[in-house]
């Protein structure tokens, strides 16, 4: 009996919960650009190499480290697929993603003089950061977020979240689900579409 009172006493002395007034909602961490802003911004870039780089970031949702590691031989221009390499725990993980026809065609024209072992974007992460700052006042990862948000907002596929997970190369669907916080209207529409 004394032991039970001791436990209650210890619990009373420790603040186990915070008063509601001290609880603040988590800040929104996902920063993205609206798709129209990206399209308008890309159209205003006069440097063709910078334009192609930012177009690739925006149309694929790839990480900057993945984009600067694309070799011409990684792209299957005939079928419209690209092999993507991502360094994780000191070894490369690979995945195959489809690429949109308009991006595939531009990449094909821009790489005609390259060999299969040539990098398409022989840049550093810092240089890509400078380009995205110059043209969009943001960082390269913002284009990844923008791609994900636009994909979820516009896709009508019931498997959209899983498809997005594969495109982004997330090993855990919970990471991909973070984007659902940005698109609550899509969740509301899905709820309204359920017959009751």
pTM for the complete prediction? Answer: 0.78
Phi-psi region of 89 (alpha: psi -120 to 50; beta: other; left: phi over 0): left
> Are the C-beta atoms of residues 123 and 50 closer than 8 Å to each other?
no
**Listed residue (152, 116, 119) closest to 32, CA to CA:** 152
Q: Which CATH architecture has domain 29-142?
A: Orthogonal Bundle (1.10)
pLDDT, residue 61, reads 97
pLDDT, residue 195, reads 73
Residue 160 in tokens:
């959209």
Question: DSSP character for 194?
Answer: S
Low-confidence ranges of the chain (pLDDT < 70): 1-29, 89-90, 184-192, 194
**Listed residue (19, 173, 48) closest to 110, CA to CA:** 48
What whole-number distance in Å separates Cα of residue 186 and Cα of residue 104? 29
- Gyration radius of the chain over CA positions: 23
Domain ranges for the chain, please list them.
29-142
What whole-number distance in Å separates Cα of residue 178 and Cα of residue 155? 17
pLDDT, residue 156, reads 86
84 - beta bridge partners?
Answer: 95
pLDDT, residue 183, reads 78
Residue 83 in tokens:
């092999």
């Amino acid at each position: 009996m004394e032991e039970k009172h001791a436990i209650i006493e210890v619990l009373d002395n420790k603040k186990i919960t915070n008063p509601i007034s001290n609880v603040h909602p988590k800040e929104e961490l996902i920063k993205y650009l609206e798709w129209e802003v990206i399209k308008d911004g890309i159209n205003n870039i006069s440097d063709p190499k910078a334009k192609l780089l930012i177009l690739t970031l925006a149309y694929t949702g790839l990480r900057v480290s993945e984009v600067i590691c694309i070799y011409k031989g990684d792209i299957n221009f005939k079928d419209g697929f690209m092999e993507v390499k991502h360094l994780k725990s000191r070894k490369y993980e690979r995945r195959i993603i489809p690429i949109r026809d308009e991006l595939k065609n531009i990449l094909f024209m821009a790489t005609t003089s390259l060999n299969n072992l040539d990098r398409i974007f022989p840049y550093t992460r810092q240089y890509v950061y400078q380009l995205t700052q110059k043209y969009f006042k943001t960082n390269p990862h913002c284009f990844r977020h923008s791609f994900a948000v636009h994909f979820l907002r516009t896709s009508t596929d019931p498997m959209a979240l899983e498809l997005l997970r594969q495109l982004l190369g997330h090993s855990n669907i919970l990471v991909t689900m973070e984007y659902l916080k940005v698109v609550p209207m899509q969740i509301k529409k899905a709820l309204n579409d359920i017959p009751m």
